[in-house]
Structure 1
Amino acid sequence: MMRAFFNRIFGAKEPEPLPIAFGSIPGMLDEREAAARAMLKEQTRDPEQNIRNGIAQLQLIVNAIAGSEHDPEIHPKLKSIAKNTLPQYIRAMNTAMAKELPNDSEEFYPAAVECVKNCLNSIRGPGRYLQIVFPDEMKASRKGIDTIGREINAITVALGAYRKEMAALSDARSRYAAIISCSEDLAKAAEKNQRSRLRIDEMTGRLKEIGQEMAAMPSDPGMAQFTEMKSSLHQLTVQLEEKTRTYAALSMTASHVLRKAEKIATKQKHNDEIAFLKHAMALLSDHELPSCTELNTALAAACPVVERMIGADEIVLKNKEERAVFAETGRFCIDMVQICSDLHAQEDTCRIAHEALDAHPIHQKTGSLEREKVQLEAMLKKERQSQTELTEWQQKTQERIPVLRDELKNKMEGIIGRTVQYSDVFPESA
């Protein structure tokens, strides 16, 4: 009595939390599931048997109605109705009760509900016309269905508790599986992260080596020769560009006058002259340098035509550039062919010098190092991005595990019915 008195004043002492090992949870859940199934089987055994008996009794009543005689004192009209509806009723009831009920409680329940529903529909349908003809039998049928309904209600309660328990067990299993999955994924991610760090270190180290090799290039024994060849190529290129500009300027000036001559020849319908002029203009305006022989032949044919038109005042030279070109067309032809020849020679010289420079070991090594550097930098950027994304995922997963752990603990407390605490260490990754 004193203990009860103090409990009322100070409150009953909270029970100590039940220690559970994380690794034992699947086994505990399996045991709870087995117990829940056994409980369901125990709670539904008698109701299921009563339902089977009730359906069998109901079948006997239906058989009795099918084989019974009508009361001779019943009104003829009622006899006619009973005669027409009785076969429908018997057929409907037999169909409703013909299906064998399963042994599994979860399958038994909907089958029994379906059977009772169909029997009720039969009684409320064609059976309602038989209540006067067979009052006792129909009353017994209703009573039998009511009895079956009460047994179904008992199964409803037991099945509801079972399904609630199974849902809780399923939730707990899903939380446990999620924790294990996160732990395994984190372990794999840690290995992947380590491999990524090794690749980053390897690429970073190689980039450092490339930088050192490129920094040491000026002291290479072949650098002096390479620099001299590079300078020589630059000078040759400058000379080629200057000669090309001279050729282009003269070609542009000559083409402008030749175009005037072509228009005049077209008006005069001098087809041969038109052809000479067009051919010369095509060679002078082409981006590709013509052959010297072809250029010489074309200018030798076109320039006399222009010279004749200038002498006839059909063409007026408007600036000093045009006058310089066509003051002496013979000299112009010789100069243009010479420039063309010089350009061909200079292009060949530049090409040979460029090929020699490209083939030089210094150039080969520098190009190789630069290409490798570009590739490594792109790979390093991609690898670092992947590592950043992986690290972010690891952090989110690490943060998720304590939440799942608490959710699992709450689920286990709801299943067991008391406070629990984990008695062991979780997987290292968790």
Structure 2
Amino acid sequence: MAGFLSKIFSKKEPESEVIEYFSLPEIFAEAEREAGESIRRAAMSAAGNAGDSLESIKKSLDILEKADFSDDAHPNKKLLNVARNSKPKFIDSMRRAIGAGISDDPDKVYDSMISFVNEAAKIMRSKGRYLGAVFPEEMKAVKSGIDSVGKLINKMTEDVKIPVDMKEKSGISKGKYNFIEDKYGQIRRYKEKISESADNISELRREISDIESVMEGLKNSAEFSEEADLIGRLETLEMKFSAAENYYEALIASTGNVFRKSSYQFSRDNNKEMAGRVDNLIDILSKKNDKCRLMGEAVELYISVYPSLASVFDANPDVIKNKTEEELFSSPGVFPEKLKSCCNELKLSLDEIAAVKKEGEGYSSGRELDKLSVKFEMNTEEITKLEEETESLKFRIEEAENEIPELMKELELSLNEWRKSPVELKF
């Protein structure tokens, strides 16, 4: 066999062959082209010869079709009748099988020859089963034509064995090469991503530097100093309000226990009117969203029921449990005075808070600092994320680079499976 294949499968003493890694695509293409050409030539040769065989079978069928026999051509009369009936069916079936023909596509020649031989053999076994006894020479000629196609199949199998083997083995090597190229492609993409991330990190750090400069300028401004004073005042007022609110809750909790016990006692004494008024007082004082709004109504109601409460306290000493409750109900004016004082404190604190907030609306440095702080944090988080991704990509690059030498060895071994000489892969 001439050309590339003859070089590869030459019986001369092998010499070491150095192959550059970058030249492999060209070597694979040449191997595939040469193998394909050899397979094509073998297929076309087989197809041509098979066509001749089919023509020969056609002529044999024509002769068989014209052949006839007398009633004494064979001692078995039943066999003669079967042969007379099956001959036209046999000839029609064989002509249809021949009509399917041998493909002119090199990739389909082999399969089409096998398909014909299988179909023809099936017809010989079925419709032609009894014809050989009556038409021995004619059927022998038909069988000879079929056998010739079978021999062509065997010859083509032998002719394409070397190029098919080389094509398969070179294909395996090409697959290993492509796998390595994919690894290199991954590494390139990872490095490009790392470079892109490095650019993004640099840009984010420049932004952070600019943000820090602006924030420093704002913190050193007179406006920020004034706003900081306002914020300090606001925090003090809010703490003051919170303390007053807590005192209010404690006050209501302390009196609420006594009011509920007193309401219960009024109900037991069948004084439903007084029980209802005390319950109403409890309801007014417990309106959490309306602290002190109904203070005047609560004080007025408390003063009106206090004499009745005092009589309950005298008759039921256990209604008041501790010194705090004892002090609050020691006289009609103690609880109202504390309630007024607490509510006034709450109202004053709310008014002062509102005034400071109103004053703060004229300052923008704090809001600007808040925006810059958010941007600062976002950039910092993004840098951390990019750095983590970069480390992950570096690990993947190292992992891929460590795999390549072993993959190269596997490729080199694969090349040795079909190259003429021992291969030394250089890369």
Regarding TM over 0.5, the answer is yes
What SS does the aligned partner of 1:127 have? coil
Q: Aligned partners of 1:64, 1:113: CA distance in 2, in Å?
A: 25
Q: Aligned partners of 2:133, 2:77: CA distance in 1, in Å?
A: 13
Q: Does 1:337 align with 2:340?
A: yes
Task: State the 1:231 CA deviation.
Answer: 4.5
Q: Aligned partners of 1:397, 1:172: CA distance in 2, in Å?
A: 19
The answer to whether the 8 A contact 2:46-2:152 is kept is yes
Q: Aligned partners of 1:101, 1:359: CA distance in 2, in Å?
A: 96
Matched positions, count:
411
- Residue 127 of structure 1 corresponds to 128
- Residue 168 of structure 2 corresponds to 167
Task: State the 1:115 CA deviation.
Answer: 0.8
Relative to structure 1, is the Cα distance of residues 148 and 290 closer, same or farther in structure 2, using a 3 angstrom cutoff? Answer: same
Task: State the 1:382 CA deviation.
Answer: 0.9
- Residue 17 of structure 1 corresponds to 17
Q: Aligned partners of 2:83, 2:284: CA distance in 1, in Å?
A: 118
What SS does the aligned partner of 1:128 have? coil
Q: Aligned partners of 1:262, 1:93: CA distance in 2, in Å?
A: 117
Task: State the 1:242 CA deviation.
Answer: 3.0
The answer to whether the 8 A contact 1:106-1:159 is kept is no
Relative to structure 1, is the Cα distance of residues 46 and 371 closer, same or farther in structure 2, using a 3 angstrom cutoff? Answer: closer
Q: Does 1:399 align with 2:398?
A: no
Q: Which runs of 5+ in 2 are unaligned?
A: 1-11
Range that drifts further, 32-41 or 227-236: 227-236
- Residue 304 of structure 2 corresponds to 304
Q: Aligned partners of 1:128, 1:150: CA distance in 2, in Å?
A: 22
Kindly provide the CA deviation profile for residues 331-368 of structure 1, in whole angstroms up to 9, marking residues without a partner as x: 42343134213202212323443665687566445534
**Correspondence 1:25-424 to 2 at 5 A:** 25-73=24-72, 74=74, 75-204=76-205, 225=226, 228-266=229-267, 273=274, 275-292=276-293, 294-305=294-305, 307-311=307-311, 316=317, 317-319=319-321, 320-353=323-356, 363-364=366-367, 366-421=369-424
The answer to whether the 8 A contact 2:39-2:164 is kept is no
Relative to structure 1, is the Cα distance of residues 43 and 354 closer, same or farther in structure 2, using a 3 angstrom cutoff? Answer: same
The answer to whether the 8 A contact 1:304-1:329 is kept is no
Task: State the 1:22 CA deviation.
Answer: 4.0
The answer to whether the 8 A contact 1:193-1:387 is kept is yes
Kindly provide the CA deviation profile for residues 7-36 of structure 1, in whole angstroms up to 9, marking residues without a partner as x: xxxxx9862434x44444333332322222
The answer to whether the 8 A contact 1:54-1:147 is kept is yes
Relative to structure 1, is the Cα distance of residues 280 and 62 closer, same or farther in structure 2, using a 3 angstrom cutoff? Answer: farther
Letter in 1 for 2:30: E
Q: Percent identity?
A: 19
What SS does the aligned partner of 1:380 have? helix
Range that drifts further, 189-198 or 101-110: 189-198
Kindly provide the CA deviation profile for residues 312-340 of structure 1, in whole angstroms up to 9, marking residues without a partner as x: 55654323322322333344234313421
Task: State the 1:110 CA deviation.
Answer: 0.6
With the length of structure 1 as denominator, give the TM-score of the two structures.
0.81
Q: Aligned partners of 2:350, 2:122: CA distance in 1, in Å?
A: 106
With the length of structure 2 as denominator, give the TM-score of the two structures.
0.81
Task: State the 1:270 CA deviation.
Answer: 6.2
Q: Aligned partners of 2:13, 2:115: CA distance in 1, in Å?
A: 50
The answer to whether the 8 A contact 1:252-1:284 is kept is no
Q: Aligned partners of 2:299, 2:93: CA distance in 1, in Å?
A: 115
Range that drifts further, 378-387 or 212-221: 212-221
- Residue 3 of structure 2 corresponds to none
Q: Aligned partners of 1:422, 1:170: CA distance in 2, in Å?
A: 17
Letter in 2 for 1:321: T
Q: Which runs of 5+ in 1 are unaligned?
A: 1-11
Q: Aligned partners of 1:151, 1:102: CA distance in 2, in Å?
A: 14
Task: State the 1:97 CA deviation.
Answer: 2.0
Letter in 2 for 1:59: K
